[in-house]
């Protein structure tokens, strides 16, 4: 899989997680949802150098191996992420006290 396609799948998976955790119809959740998606989109290219490390000489990533390796690491309870820690300033302070739980299935969804 080309790096650009793999990156698009990652972004889509993150957007789906954002919808799952901040998909309520309240105005605040709509604002948070849109803001988080915009932050992901605007910062997507900052990690190209990391994706390049997983690519072969033709610019392809063995997505199944990469995703499976990291997904297997999350076997069991998964890992918790406090988004307020990663979203700085005013926007971070507006986030509710919700913890994102990444499970194996969430990582495997990248391959869909």
Number of continuous H segments (helices) and E segments (strands) in the chain? 6, 2
What pLDDT does residue 60 have? 97
What pLDDT does residue 55 have? 97
Tens digits of residue pLDDT in 52-91: 999 999 999 999 999 999 999 888 888 898 888 888 788 8
What pLDDT does residue 43 have? 94
| Mean of the per-residue pLDDT values of the chain | 90
Q: How far are the Cα atoms of 78, 80, 96 from residue 70, in angstroms, in the given order? A: 11, 15, 28
């Amino acid at each position: 899989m080309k790096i650009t396609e793999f990156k698009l799948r990652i972004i889509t998976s993150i957007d789906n997680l954002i919808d799952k955790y901040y998909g309520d119809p309240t105005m605040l959740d709509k604002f948070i949802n849109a803001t988080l998606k915009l932050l992901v989109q605007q910062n997507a290219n900052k990690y190209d150098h990391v994706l390049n490390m997983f690519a072969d000489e033709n610019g392809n990533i063995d997505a199944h191996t990469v995703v499976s390796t990291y997904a297997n690491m999350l076997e069991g309870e998964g890992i918790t992420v406090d988004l307020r820690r990663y979203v700085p300033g005013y926007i971070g302070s507006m986030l509710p006290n919700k913890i994102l739980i990444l499970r194996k299935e969430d990582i495997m969804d990248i391959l869909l």
